[in-house]
Amino acid sequence: MKISKILVCILIIACSLATFNPVKAQSGDQILDGIGETALSARYLFSGDTKDWSRNHFNANGNQVTFANDDRFGKVLSLSGDDLSFITIPIQAVANLESFSFTSWIYLKSDKAGQHYFDLGTNETNHLFAAPFGTLLKPGFQVMMTSKLNEESGATSKPVETNKWIHLAIVVDVSSKSITTFIHGRPVARGKYSPEALTQIVSGKPDEKKFFIGKSISKGNPNLKANIHDFRIYRIALNEKQVAAISGNLSNNQVNTTAKPAEDLPHFSSVTPQLYNQYLISVEDISINTTVGNLPRLPGHVKGYYKSGITGPDVRVLWPSPTDIIAVSKPGTYTITGNIPGTNFKPKVKVTVIESASEIRPQLKLKSFPLNQVILTNDENGRKTKFIENRDKFLNVLAQTDPNSFLYMFRHAYGQKQPEGAKSLGGWDTEDTKLRGHATGHYLSAIAQAYKSTSYNKPLQANFERKITYMVNTLYDLSQLSGKPAKGSKVHQSNPKAVPMGPGKKAFDSDLSTEGIRTDYWNWGEGFISAYPPDQFIMLESGAKYGGQKNQIWAPYYTLHKILAGLIDVYEATGNKKALMVATNMGDWVYHRLNSLPQETLIKMWNTYIAGEYGGMNESMARLYGITKNPNFLKTAKLFDNIKVFYGDTAHNSGLAKNVDIFRGLHANQHIPQIVGSIEMYQVSQIPEYYKIADNFWHKMIDDYSYSIGGVAGARNPANAECFIAQPASLYANGFSPEGQNETCATYNMLKLTGDLFLFDQRGELMDYYERGLYNHILASVAENSPANTYHVPLNPGAVKQFENADMTGFTCCNGTAIESSTKLQNSIYFKTNNNDGLYVNLYIPSILNWNEKNITIKQTTDFPKSDETKLSINGNGKFDVNLRVPSWATNGFYIKINGKSQNLDAIPGTYLKLNRLWKNRDVIEIKMPFTFHLDPVMDQQNIASLFYGPILLAAQEPEARKEWRKITLNAGDISRSINGDPKELLFTIDGVTFKPFYDSYGRHSVYLDVTLK
Q: Which residues contact 459 (CB under 8 A, 6 or more apart)?
A: none
Q: Give the whole-angstrom CA distance, residue 940 versus residue 734.
A: 10
Instruction: Please tell me the predicted confidence (pLDDT) of residue 980.
Output: 97
Instruction: Please tell me the predicted confidence (pLDDT) of residue 900.
Output: 97
Instruction: Please tell me the predicted confidence (pLDDT) of residue 208.
Output: 83
β-strands 152-157, 141-146 pairing: antiparallel
Instruction: Please tell me the predicted confidence (pLDDT) of residue 33.
Output: 84
Instruction: Please tell me the predicted confidence (pLDDT) of residue 263.
Output: 57
Q: ω before 865 within 30° of 0 (cis)?
A: yes
pTM as predicted: 0.94
Residue 2 has pLDDT above 50, yes or no: no
- The arithmetic mean of pLDDT across residues 920-949, rounded, is 97
Residue 450 has pLDDT above 80, yes or no: yes
Q: Give the whole-angstrom CA distance, residue 693 versus residue 809.
A: 37
Residue 766 has pLDDT above 90, yes or no: yes
- DSSP secondary structure letter of residue 267: P
Residue 18 has pLDDT above 60, yes or no: no
Q: Give the whole-angstrom CA distance, residue 373 versus residue 366.
A: 16
Q: ω before 459 within 30° of 0 (cis)?
A: no
Q: Which of 54-63, 291-300, 975-984 has the lowest mean pLDDT?
A: 54-63
Q: How far is CA 334 from the centre of its chain?
A: 39
Q: Which residues pair with 168 in a beta bridge?
A: 104, 183
Q: Give the whole-angstrom CA distance, residue 187 versus residue 602.
A: 48
Q: Amino acid identity, residue 494? A: S
Instruction: Please tell me the predicted confidence (pLDDT) of residue 606.
Output: 97
Q: Which residues pair with 547 in a beta bridge?
A: none
Instruction: Please tell me the predicted confidence (pLDDT) of residue 7.
Output: 34
- The arithmetic mean of pLDDT across residues 571-579, rounded, is 98
- The arithmetic mean of pLDDT across residues 516-524, rounded, is 97
Residue 260 has pLDDT above 70, yes or no: no
Q: Tens digit of pLDDT for each residue in 180-223?
A: 999 999 999 999 988 888 888 887 788 888 999 999 999 899 99
pLDDT band at 32 (very low <50, low <70, confident <90, very high): confident
Q: How far is CA 72 from the centre of its chain?
A: 39
Residue 262 has pLDDT above 70, yes or no: no
Residue 596 has pLDDT above 90, yes or no: yes
Q: Amino acid identity, residue 172? A: V
pLDDT band at 545 (very low <50, low <70, confident <90, very high): very high
Q: Which residues pair with 935 in a beta bridge?
A: 947
As a whole number, the mean pLDDT across the chain is: 93
For residue 1012, how many other CB atoms are within 10 A of its CB? 14
pLDDT band at 259 (very low <50, low <70, confident <90, very high): very low
- The arithmetic mean of pLDDT across residues 539-550, rounded, is 94
Instruction: Please tell me the predicted confidence (pLDDT) of residue 19.
Output: 33
Q: Let me know: does 805 contact 791? Beta carbons within 8 Å.
A: no
Q: Which of 39-48, 263-272, 429-438, 469-478 has the lowest mean pLDDT?
A: 263-272
- The arithmetic mean of pLDDT across residues 18-24, rounded, is 34
β-strands 838-841, 878-886 pairing: parallel
Q: Give the whole-angstrom CA distance, residue 306 versus residue 907.
A: 25
pLDDT band at 9 (very low <50, low <70, confident <90, very high): very low
129: left (phi over 0), alpha (psi -120 to 50) or beta: beta
Instruction: Please tell me the predicted confidence (pLDDT) of residue 1.
Output: 44
Q: How far is CA 424 from the centre of its chain?
A: 24
Q: Let me know: does 960 contact 195? Beta carbons within 8 Å.
A: yes
Q: Give the whole-angstrom CA distance, residue 627 versus residue 618.
A: 14
Q: Which residues contact 331 (CB under 8 A, 6 or more apart)?
A: 292, 353, 354, 355
For residue 92, how many other CB atoms are within 10 A of its CB? 18
Strands (E), 15-164: 31-32, 35-36, 40-44, 61-62, 66-70, 74-80, 87-88, 100-108, 118-123, 126-131, 141-146, 152-157
Q: Which residues contact 18 (CB under 8 A, 6 or more apart)?
A: none
Q: Tens digit of pLDDT for each residue in 778-816?
A: 999 999 999 999 999 999 999 999 999 999 999 999 999
β-strands 426-427, 315-316 pairing: unpaired
For residue 184, how many other CB atoms are within 10 A of its CB? 14
Instruction: Please tell me the predicted confidence (pLDDT) of residue 864.
Output: 97
- The arithmetic mean of pLDDT across residues 92-106, rounded, is 92
Q: Give the whole-angstrom CA distance, residue 795 versus residue 373.
A: 36
Q: Which of 1-5, 469-473, 521-525, 988-992 has the lowest mean pLDDT?
A: 1-5
Q: Let me know: does 862 contact 376? Beta carbons within 8 Å.
A: no
- What string of H, E and C letters represents the secondary structure of 595-641? CCCCHHHHHHHHCCCCCCCCCCHHHHHHHHHHHHCCHHHHHHHHHCC
Q: Let me know: does 822 contact 392? Beta carbons within 8 Å.
A: no
For residue 542, how many other CB atoms are within 10 A of its CB? 11
- The arithmetic mean of pLDDT across residues 673-687, rounded, is 97
Q: Let me know: does 1008 contact 944? Beta carbons within 8 Å.
A: yes
312: left (phi over 0), alpha (psi -120 to 50) or beta: beta
Q: Tens digit of pLDDT for each residue in 294-333?
A: 999 999 999 999 998 888 999 999 999 999 999 999 999 9
Q: Give the whole-angstrom CA distance, residue 752 versus residue 745.
A: 11
Q: Which helix (H) or strand (E) holds 913?
A: strand 911-919
Nearest CA to 30 out of 431, 548, 510 is that of: 548
Residue 252 has pLDDT above 60, yes or no: no
Instruction: Please tell me the predicted confidence (pLDDT) of residue 276.
Output: 96
Residue 16 has pLDDT above 80, yes or no: no
Q: Give the whole-angstrom CA distance, residue 819 versus residue 839.
A: 28
Q: Which helix (H) or strand (E) holds 374?
A: strand 374-376
Q: Give the whole-angstrom CA distance, residue 91 versus residue 60.
A: 10
pLDDT band at 30 (very low <50, low <70, confident <90, very high): low
β-strands 838-841, 830-833 pairing: antiparallel
pLDDT band at 151 (very low <50, low <70, confident <90, very high): low
pLDDT band at 255 (very low <50, low <70, confident <90, very high): very low
Q: Which of 355-369, 855-869, 892-906, 985-999 has the lowest mean pLDDT?
A: 355-369
- What string of H, E and C letters represents the secondary structure of 214-256? CCCCCCCCCCCEEEEEEEEEECCCCCHHHHHHHHCCCCCCCCC
Residue 14 has pLDDT above 70, yes or no: no
Residue 708 has pLDDT above 50, yes or no: yes
